């Protein structure tokens, strides 16, 4: 396993979603799954997601961003992490507009301040094959899935969507009434989700306000999940529960989500610095 060669990192968060930002541009290096999990497990570099910047291949873009969950899995979208990367780049270069390459496509970002960073999270996908689901469901606004009676009240009929990553949204009267830590992993790994899924409880307070809690695929309970906020917003709009602009309140704070007439999802919120340092030497591989 290659050791880290004096590589700087920034520990940040997006509404409390723990993010490690590592810039590998100009270096011929990438991280193994073992290195990712090792960094996630250390107090100084602990993260829910790690955002790694690599040299881009599309002219005019700032970086290709590779995204890892704490369990080492590589994923294609992280809203909170993308805001942290955008703030980091803006502070380093003075740029306020930038575009990143990700496995889910190009993401444009605008940095007005550390409190107002907007990311275009792209176009939502609702077909069962695009989530993906293991079998055909005609109406992905409510699929036949339920959990219980291990948890009362029963959870059922989630909406599903892909916003660069897969999400299932359960609609509830009170997000605090459920032991999400207990059944989150059951649903994350449910066979109906061949690539697993991020699992959220959504409470629609008004036509402009949703309260959300999320069990994240590959990271567990987090204080915020930006892509889940996007997922809940577009699924609520699709069910005619909300307008096209909503505030989503997560345990760590608020995000503004807009599903534009051009079918793109705009997410606006803050990013916060915590500390910076040099990545620790990776441990020698067990012989």
Ligand X SMILES: N[C@H](CCC[C@H](N)C(=O)O)C(=O)O
Known binding residue 13? Answer is no
Q: How far is CA 50 from CA 22, 170, 221, 241, in A?
A: 7, 27, 16, 34
From CA 205, how far away is CA 211, in angstroms rounded?
A: 7
Nearer to ligand X by Cβ, of 211 and 225: the residue is 225
The active-site residue out of 84, 225, 230, 235 is 225
Residue 162 touches ligand X, criterion: CB under 6 A: no
- Tokens 């309260």 belong to 211
**Tally of CB atoms within 10 A around 195:** 14
Minimum separation from the CB atom of position 28 to ligand X (A)? 26
First to last CA, the chain: 12
User: For residues 54 and 223, which CB has a smaller minimum distance to ligand X in the complex?
Assistant: 223
> Which stretch, 22-30, 100-108, 110-118, 211-219, contacts ligand X (CB under 6 A)?
211-219
Query: Can residue 198 be called a binding residue for ligand X (CB under 6 A)?
Result: yes
The active-site residue, picked from 78, 84, 230, 235, is 78
- Using the rule CB under 6 A, which residue among 12, 87, 161, 219 binds ligand X? 219
Is the Cβ–Cβ distance between 218 and 179 less than 8 Å?
Answer: no
Verify binding: residue 227, ligand X, rule CB under 6 A: yes
Tokens describing residue 121: 């999270």
> Binding residue for ligand X (CB under 6 A) from 13, 49, 62, 140?
49
The bridge status of strand 74-75 relative to strand 97-102 is unpaired
11 binds ligand X (CB under 6 A): no
**Any idea what DSSP says for residue 268?**
E
Q: Give catalytic status of residue 78 as yes or no.
A: yes
Among 80, 118, 159, 272, binds ligand X (CB under 6 A): 80
Q: Give CA–CA dist 253/114, Å, rounded.
A: 14
Residue 84 bears catalytic tag: no
Which residue ranges make up the site for ligand X (CB under 6 A)?
Answer: 17, 48-49, 69, 75, 77-81, 165, 198, 216-219, 225-227
């Amino acid at each position: 396993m290659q050791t880290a060669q004096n590589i700087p990192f920034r520990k940040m968060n997006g509404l409390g979603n723990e993010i490690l930002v590592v810039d590998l541009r100009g270096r011929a290096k990438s991280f193994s799954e073992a290195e990712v999990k090792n960094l996630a497990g250390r107090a100084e570099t602990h993260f829910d997601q790690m955002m790694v910047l690599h040299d881009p291949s599309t002219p005019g873009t700032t970086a290709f961003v590779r995204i890892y969950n704490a369990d080492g899995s590589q994923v294609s979208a992280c809203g909170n992490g993308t805001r942290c990367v955008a703030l980091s780049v803006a502070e380093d270069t003075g740029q306020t507009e930038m575009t990143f390459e990700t496995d889910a496509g190009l993401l444009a970002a605008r940095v007005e301040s550390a409190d107002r960073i907007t990311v275009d999270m792209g176009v939502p996908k609702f077909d069962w094959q695009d989530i993906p689901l293991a079998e055909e469901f005609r109406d992905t606004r409510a699929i036949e899935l339920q959990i219980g009676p291990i948890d009362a009240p029963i959870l059922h009929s989630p909406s599903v969507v892909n916003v660069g990553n897969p999400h299932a949204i359960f609609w509830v009267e009170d997000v605090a009434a459920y032991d999400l830590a207990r059944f989150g992993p059951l649903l994350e790994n449910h066979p109906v989700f061949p690539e697993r899924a991020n699992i959220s409880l959504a409470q629609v307070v008004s036509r402009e306000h949703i309260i959300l809690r999320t069990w994240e695929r590959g990271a567990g309970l987090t204080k915020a999940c930006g892509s889940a906020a996007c997922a809940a917003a577009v699924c609520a709009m699709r069910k005619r529960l909300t307008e096209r602009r909503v505030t989503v309140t997560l345990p760590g704070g608020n995000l503004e989500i807009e599903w534009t007439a051009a079918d793109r999802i705009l997410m606006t919120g803050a990013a916060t610095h915590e500390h910076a340092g040099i990545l620790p030497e990776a441990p020698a591989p067990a012989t």
